[in-house]
Copies of this chain bind each other. A is one copy, B any other.
Amino acid sequence: MTNPLPQGATIGILGGGQLGRMLSVAASRLGLKTHIFEPGANPPAGHVADQITTASYDDVAALTGFAATVDVITYEFENIPTSALDTLEALKPIHPNRRALATSQDRLVEKEFLQSLGLNTAPFASVDTLDDLTAAISSVGTPAILKTRRFGYDGKGQARLMTPDDTATAHADMAGAPSLLEGFVDFSHEVSVIAARGQQGDIACFDPGENVHINGILHTTTVPANLSKGQSTDAVLLAARILNELDYVGVMGVELFVTPQGLIVNEFAPRVHNSGHWTQNGCVVDQFEQHIRAVAGWPLNEGKRHSDITMENLIGDDMDRVATLASEPNTALHLYGKDEVKHGRKMGHVNRITG
């Protein structure tokens, strides 16, 4: 697909959560429709999509039917089963590509990829067995974090080792899953770059945002981030290097630790990213539309910021504050329409214009 998708074309989105929902809204601004593929009932993205398929990722007939109705396929999460991708890829283009997905799905592969580009990462070692873990602690040291290589998000699938005494407990926590030991990085703060690459290889990055996490879940993103001009430039160039190397099409979130010795790449996500939600009220074209533009073969927007913003996630019982938040000046609500409020569940976010 080299031409931009025309009016009325349909973008297939794997995953029906809040990211799919906001992608669907963005697609509508460009005159494009969306078709959501999601195993769960009443997905948030379904409220604003033209079509929904409710089926599991191993339902080949459903995947085939889905692919037949769409012009291009993208996704809102990186843990899509390989077999589903195999089925879909034979039928329609998928952006971002398989290599980006495969790289980000496995923390070990991701770290090795980043190092191959000459980028700095936390010290790490692969851990499959208890012996591996003992050896890893020798090389990486403690404190450290043991993480499953796959399927971790929002701090899940992780165990901290403050001293080597925690070895057995941490290993047991992984329940035999292939893992990675990561050394602690002494960073002052975390920032992320929301970067986009189009089908012509054009790249546009939004200004880096500064992230604060609580209990392993993103709490706020603030732009502009506390970065020197040089650090901002480094962050953007580094993100661009990742995108180019992967021949990437779409938006990527790249998380970086800021240290006195420079920027260290924590991880990247091959999709729109929670730390990019501020763009909805800080930029003329947000990360969701930027992703749709890339996937649909449209030109990217330059990504310029018109306002300073702090994004705050609304998690679980934070929803009790909605009535108050709705009355705050300079504050935009973005609620996800989820059926049920659960502890730790991302229910929405607010963007506050601060300048």
Determine whether the beta carbon of A8 is less than 8 Å from that of B326.
no
Report whether A47 and B50 are in contact in the complex, using a CB–CB cutoff of 8 Å. yes
* CB contact under 8 A between A284 and B330, given known A337-B8, A337-B28: yes
Question: CB distance A48 to B25 under 8 Å?
Answer: yes
Residues of B within 8 A of A25 (CB): 25, 28, 48
Q: Which of B21, B331, B339, B351 is A8 in contact with, Cβ under 8 Å?
A: B339
Closest chain B residue to A4 by CB distance?
B323
**A189 at the binding interface (Cβ < 8 Å):** no
Cα(A34)–Cα(B21), bound, Å? 14
Does residue A332 face the partner (Cβ distance < 8 Å to B)?
yes
- Evaluate whether A332 and B284 lie within 8 angstroms (CB atoms) in the complex, with A8-B337, A50-B47 already known: yes
Q: For residue A286, give the distance in angstroms from its CB to the closest CB of chain B.
A: 10
Q: Does A253 contact B (CB under 8 A)?
A: no
Q: How many Å from the CB of A85 to the closest CB on chain B?
A: 26
Q: Within residues 229 to 251 of chain A, which ones have a CB less than 8 A from any CB in chain B?
A: none
Mark A299-330 against chain B: 1 for CB-CB distance below 8 A, else 0: 10110101100000000000100010011011
Query: Do B284 and A302 touch (CB < 8 A)?
Result: no
Q: Evaluate contact between A332 and B285: CB separation under 8 angstroms.
A: yes
Closest chain B CB from A298 CB (angstroms): 5
A32 touches B299 (CB 8 A): no
Nearest CB of chain B from residue A21's CB, rounded to whole Å: 7
Q: Is the CB of A29 within 8 A of B333?
A: yes
Instruction: Across the interface, name the chain B residue whose C-beta is closest to A319.
Output: B7
Tell whether, in the assembled complex, residue B30 and residue A21 are in contact, meaning their CB atoms are under 8 Å apart: no
> How many angstroms from the CA of A304 to the CA of B31 in the assembled complex?
28
Q: Does A353 interact with chain B (Cβ within 8 Å)?
A: yes
* Contacts A25-B28, A284-B330, A335-B29 given; does A353 touch B306 at CB 8 Å: yes
Looking at the complex, which one of B46, B330, B331, B337 makes contact with A7 (CB distance below 8 Å)? Answer: B337
What's the Cα separation between A201 and B96 when bound, in Å?
Answer: 49
CB distance from A3 to the nearest CB of B (A): 10
The reply to whether B7 and A335 contact each other, CB–CB distance below 8 Å, is yes
A313 to B299, CA, bound (A): 21
Q: How far is the CB of A275 from chain B (nearest CB, A)?
A: 19
Taking CB atoms, residues of chain B closer than 8 Å to A49 are: 48
A222 touches B (CB below 8 Å): no
Contacts of A74 in B (CB 8 A): none
Within 8 A of B (CB), among A48-82: 48-50
Q: Complex Cα distance A302/B34, Å?
A: 33
Residues of A bordering B, CB below 8 Å: 4, 7-8, 21, 24-25, 28-34, 46-50, 281, 284-285, 293, 298-299, 301-302, 304, 306-307, 319, 323, 326-327, 329-339, 348, 351, 353
Give the 5 A-B CB pairs with smallest separation, nearest first: A31-B335, A31-B337, A299-B327, A48-B48, A47-B50
